[in-house]
A and B are shown apart, each in its own frame.
Chain A
Amino acid sequence: EAEVAQSPRYKITEKSQAVAFWCDPISGHATLYWYRQILGQGPELLVQFQDESVVDDSQLPKDRFSAERLKGVDSTLKIQPAELGDSAMYLCASSLWLAGGTDTQYFGPGTRLTVL
């Protein structure tokens, strides 16, 4: 069964350092999402791609976060510099097309980030 792949699964870093997360969506899925999930809360969308284009990055802290999906396949989310408040689970999801309200998003296992 096809799955969304993410790496690394765990990352520990010190504040002010740079970190990067990688996501490989299910083959053929045009839409890719990055979410942040703080402990005890639901996922919050950071950025949404349709192919290589950003559709929504309204909740992405652009002073320190960046995301790219250069060839419309895999994607990288970067934080520079990391802050203590960035400690969270970073989830990647993909779907076949831009969600029309009933589209299924398939989530990867996430990257657990701890900033010391």
Chain B
Amino acid sequence: TQLLEQSPQFLSIQEGENLTVYCNSSSVFSSLQWYRQEPGEGPVLLVTVVTGGEVKKLKRLTFQFGDARKDSSLHITAAQPGDTGLYLCAGPRGSNYKLTFGKGTLLTVNP
């Protein structure tokens, strides 16, 4: 059973469109992180959300942490080909705060 469920698994859109991807769990997390991973590279941290209901903006990317701290969403406005990549959410579990990752959403933005 996957602790963090991400949807959709795949998303292909045209440049300029808006999109939202989701990260859901039945468990409460103290925080959630979003990463972007490009082909052949390691994940790069985009944002950490900590407070229930928190909204963070990073240029055209808007991240939201659910009030109950069980889910998060990432909204991209006016997507660009440079946004193409695998978007991963991750949250800490256990006394060592081991990061557990979702399977990711593979986003392709076509020019």
Binding site for B on A (CB under 8 A): 4, 40-45, 48, 55-56, 91, 93, 98-110, 112
Q: Is the interface of B mostly helix, strand, loop or mixed?
A: loop
Question: Is B43 touching A99 in the complex (CB atoms < 8 A)?
Answer: no
The 3 A-B residue pairs with the shortest CB-CB distance in the complex, in nearest-first order: A42-B101, A107-B42, A99-B97
The answer on a CB contact under 8 Å between A109 and B96 is: no
Q: How far is the CB of A100 from chain B (nearest CB, A)?
A: 6
The distance from the CB of B46 to the nearest CB of chain A, in whole angstroms, is 11
- Take A102-B31, A102-B48 as given contacts and tell me if A45 and B42 are in contact as well, using a CB distance cutoff of 8 Å: no
Are B103's CB and A41's CB within 8 A?
yes
Other than A42-B102, A93-B42, A99-B97, give 19 A-B pairs with Cβ distance below 8 A: A42-B103, A42-B104, A43-B43, A45-B98, A45-B99, A48-B96, A56-B94, A91-B43, A98-B96, A99-B92, A100-B97, A101-B50, A101-B97, A104-B48, A106-B45, A107-B43, A109-B42, A110-B41, A110-B42
**Chain A facing B: main interface SS:** loop
Q: Tell me, in angstroms, the Cα distance from A109 to B42 when the chains sit together.
A: 5
Determine whether the beta carbon of B97 is less than 8 Å from that of A104: no
Judge if B111 is at the interface, Cβ distance under 8 Å. no
Q: Which of B73-111 contact A (CB under 8 A)?
A: 88, 90, 92, 94, 96-104
B44 CB-CB contact with A under 8 Å: yes
Contact size class for B?
20 to 34
Name the A residues within 8 Å of B45 (CB-CB): 104-106
Q: Do the beta carbons of B30 and A4 come within 8 Å of each other?
A: no
- Chain B residues lying within 8 Å of A4, measured Cβ to Cβ, are 42
Q: Contact at B96–A55, with CB atoms within 8 Å?
A: yes
Q: What separation, in Å, do the CA atoms of A32 and B86 have in the docked complex?
A: 23
Nearest Cβ on chain B to A50's Cβ, whole angstroms: 9
Q: Report the Cα distance A103→B31, complex, angstroms.
A: 10
Q: How far is the CA of A93 from the CA of B99 in the complex (A)?
A: 11
Cβ–Cβ < 8 Å partners of B48 in chain A: 102, 104
Residues in A neighbouring B104, C-beta threshold 8 A:
41-42
